[in-house]
Amino acid sequence: MPFYNFVNKADEPAELFITGDIVDDDTAAWYSGNDVECASHKAFKASLDKCKGKDITVYINSYGGDTAIASEIYTDLLEYKGNITVKIPSIAASAASIIAMAGDKVLMSPTAMMMIHNPWTVAIGDKHELKATIHVLETVGETIINAYERKTHLSREEIQKLMDKDNQGSWFDCNEAKQYGFIDGIIGEETDFANEAILNAIKGEQMRIYNKVAFKPPKAQEQRIEEPKPEVEQIAEEAEEEPTEDEIRARVARILNIPPEQVNQAMIDCCCPLFVDRGEEKAQKELEVQAEIEKFKFLSLA
């Protein structure tokens, strides 16, 4: 049985479902012959190539497996041109958690779990061979930390402590995983990302308008016959004028980088204060900017 259900509709993001053990291609043939779900690099790469750079959602339900194969799949996702959302409906443990770190956005179900730990193996041989095996395990552990560090921005020491915990590793629910930075959000609460994007756009526009008003432009050249009004005065006059509904909608659309027809009333309510210049001193403006940012944060998360 293949490890994935591959859904690729023309006008929708493609979906890949990674389920079962993560194994090499030869082992995958045995799994398939016995009707057991598994994940292999060759099959995954073939499905990923069919997506041709469109946005994809990768669902992961796996207790892990071969770290080398997980690394191949992780790297394929890093190199993929489209946007990647990883969703964990049930569990992403061990090597499966490595693959999850490749998502541009990683979400867990409220009932899902994630588990990270040190790599392990089975080895036989004399003391020299066993020492070499220990060195390999230490190196593999460092490569795993690379993936976690890139996603979470925790220090390597902090990640290693989580992998060492109780000599077994660490299990996380969605809240712990989000707190540590292994995931970005919780399934069912995706609207947080839209609100955060709106808040960031509003902050950027607030500072752009503030900078434009607070600093005087160079003086107009003397040879001009009709000297235009200084930019500060012009902006202040424009701010005093009551904008029409279409003008407000157009400005909000420009701030959020979306078509005007997608602008709703909540977005307008958040952005309208940006169009008003109160004409106060710089120190007072800085206080107002901070106050407005806090207000926008409250509105965007409400």
- Read off the pLDDT of residues 87-109 as tens digits, 9 standing for 90 and up: 999 999 999 999 999 999 999 99
Tell me the per-residue pLDDT of 123-132, one tens digit each, with 9 for 90 and over.
999 999 999 9
Q: In the CATH hierarchy, which fold is given to the domain comprising 14-186? A: 2-enoyl-CoA Hydratase; Chain A, domain 1 (3.90.226)
Please provide residue 235's backbone torsions phi and psi, each rounded to the nearest 5 degrees: -65, -40
Which tokens go with 295? Answer: 């207000």
> How much is the pLDDT for 12?
75
CA distance 177 to 159: 12
Give the percent of the chain with pLDDT over 90. 57
Q: Is 39 helix (H, G, I), strand (E, B) or coil?
A: strand
> How much is the pLDDT for 71?
97
Is pLDDT above 50 for 254?
yes
Is pLDDT above 70 for 5?
no
Is pLDDT above 70 for 31?
yes
Average pLDDT of span 253-276 = 68
Given pLDDT bands bounded at 50, 70 and 90, which one contains residue 265?
A: confident
> How much is the pLDDT for 192?
46
Average pLDDT of span 256-267 = 73
Ranges in the chain annotated CATH 3.90.226.10: 14-186
Tell me the per-residue pLDDT of 48-84, one tens digit each, with 9 for 90 and over.
999 999 999 999 999 999 999 999 999 999 999 999 9
- pTM passes above 0.85: no
> How much is the pLDDT for 182?
98
> How much is the pLDDT for 201?
58
Which one has a higher pLDDT value, 180 or 230? 180
- Give, as one character, the DSSP assignment of residue 62: B
Tell me the per-residue pLDDT of 153-171, one tens digit each, with 9 for 90 and over.
899 999 999 999 999 999 9
Given pLDDT bands bounded at 50, 70 and 90, which one contains residue 86?
A: very high
CA distance 135 to 28: 28
Average pLDDT of the residues of the chain: 80
> How much is the pLDDT for 191?
55
Total H helices, total E strands in the chain:
12, 10
Which one has a higher pLDDT value, 247 or 197? 247
Which one has a higher pLDDT value, 220 or 170? 170
Torsion of CA 106, 204, 299, 177, to 10 degrees: 20
Burial of residue 177 (CB within 10 Å: 0-12, 13-18, 19+) is buried
> How much is the pLDDT for 153?
86
Is pLDDT above 60 for 36?
yes
